[in-house]
Chains A and B, each alone.
Chain A
């Protein structure tokens, strides 16, 4: 299975990465190369195998539902490209 130029364009859109036609042309064979290579996993019989998500067996812990942090608004905003009135500011979304 190989990806088409349209699919690569669609993936770039999903990934929110702007790409010129030249870049897409360059990326297409690279992606197909890598995807063609990973397809060898198809040879492996995985019937009845549980997918592994947690590599070392452990239970997820719960903590008490209490505030244990906070009042650090200015520290959080300190790295924002644009902050206004104590908020992150973004380009206008709604007219």
Chain B
């Protein structure tokens, strides 16, 4: 049955409808693959019975014409999404035994479309990390290895379990979340596609909050088309999220076209930065040629505040996180440390025990930049620079329709290789500006580097122009012909 796990979501969907195979056969193939890949540590919880139940419902409904767009498709759900009755930990010890009594809007939307759930996917604690090493449940190990080496590599982060699951063929597609690159960088590291839509497209209701002005859900999958199919099911207005956009969900899959005639592709000169391997710049140049071949016209653009995006992000995101994570107090849910005298001591002991080092670091930074006397110098200043970054993009999109950059400044690195927090933050140098501006952005695989590891290309679109992003992604996908898969060692 291994060939079923090689198929795209579009192929599975069409195969179920055409009677080529049953949804149950798909679910069984995936359940078997998931159980055989525990070495990767991609799943924190496995829910094979959930995948089977959705498959049986799809098989029963087949022929009735009532099949949802994802009927019988088995997905992995990042452990940041509340799933009713199924452990939701956000990769943290503080939520170790938390079983939500409700379902997040996005995962609920996928269920309504008929999808089944294979399990919950490991991630950096509270989505704070770029390597999956901050998870309280151990790092995810990438299915990819450097040529001739068996050193364990990270799948990137924070949606590292999500990325590894798609690359290893243990989920047909997955949900991710992206606050400052957490869908795009891992997608690039494992050679798959992933899109972060415009801020507000996907409801944040039921997603464990990290930095609310930045957090967005999005899909990761083998192909651009699969991303379009998943995003269509995930997105939509939700009155339960005050920043949800009340706009119709376009039919992105039906709108897919790799003909970019008349489109101008912006190439931001500030994204040529020192210290980036030549192979990444070379792939970027190749990407420009691919888009030109698809009919687009490359134009040089300037995003002058690019170098300030990361420091801006590392004020705003920790500030919002310190506020959001105040809720973990050992009272209403999650861990409580007993044996201390006062209520205040209980809070402090619980949070000391329940949070990992990176989460504590960011809460401390956030608390500091919001504290009396420093608020204006740090937080308000960062919000002003954020306005300038947004303005840079606004001006750029007067001159172009889509922006092309590399996704990450390196290929996947080894587990334990990056120990300095600041060096880790630099991973998201190309991803963060689009997050600060709330824009749709996508990573698609472009090729392999000299070590045999995937590299991604990054497309940024104007507000609400997911279609433009997907179409440019499709144009690259068709020309890159990226079919490399990790050799199975697990």
Contact = CB atoms under 8 A, between A and B. Distances in A.
A55 B436 contact: yes
A50 B360 contact: no
B371 A14 contact: yes
Contacts of A38: 311-312, 314-315, 378, 382
B242 A81 contact: no
A71 interface: no
A17 B388 contact: no
Nearest to B304: A44
A55 B314 CA distance: 17
B342 interface: yes
Contacts of A44: 305, 308, 384-385, 388
A51 B71 CA distance: 45
Interface string B358-400: 0011011101100100000010111111111010000000000
B364 A27 contact: yes
Contact of B384 (A27, A46, A78): A46
A56 B438 contact: yes
A19 B352 contact: yes
A61 B361 contact: no
Contact of A50 (B312, B340, B365, B387): B387
Interface of A: 3, 7-8, 11-19, 27, 30-31, 33-35, 37-44, 46, 49-56, 58, 60-61, 63, 72, 75-76, 78-82, 88, 90-93
In the A-B complex, the 5 residue pairs with the smallest Cβ-Cβ separation, listed nearest first, are A51-B383, A55-B438, A81-B336, A79-B333, A46-B384
A79 B364 contact: no
B384 to A, nearest CB: 4
Given A46-B381, A55-B213, A41 B336 contact: no
Contacts of B332: 76, 79-80, 88
Contact of A41 (B344, B360, B368, B382): B382
B421 A49 contact: no
A49 B437 contact: no
A40 B342 CA distance: 41
A50 B153 CA distance: 43
Interface of B: 97-101, 198-200, 213-214, 239, 242-243, 245-246, 305, 307-308, 311-312, 314-315, 322, 326, 329-336, 340-349, 351-352, 355, 360-361, 363-365, 367-368, 371, 378, 380-388, 390, 421-422, 436-438, 463
Contact of A51 (B239, B331, B384): B384
A82 B355 CA distance: 20
A56 B383 contact: no
A80 B242 CA distance: 27
B349 to A, nearest CB: 5
Nearest to A40: B311
A3 B146 CA distance: 41
For A33, A44, A46, the residue with the greatest tally of chain B CB atoms inside 10 Å of its CB is A44
A42 B384 CA distance: 11
Given A15-B367, A55-B438, A63-B239, A50 B384 contact: yes
Given A34-B365, A44-B308, 7 more contacts: A11-B364, A15-B351, A19-B352, A34-B361, A51-B380, A51-B384, A58-B200
A30 B421 contact: yes
A12 B364 contact: yes
B329 A16 contact: yes
A31 B383 CA distance: 20
Contacts of B335: 81
A43 B388 CA distance: 13
Contacts of A49: 384, 387-388
Contact of B98 (A18, A63, A79, A82): A79
B488 to A, nearest CB: 39
Contact of A52 (B341, B360, B364, B390): B390
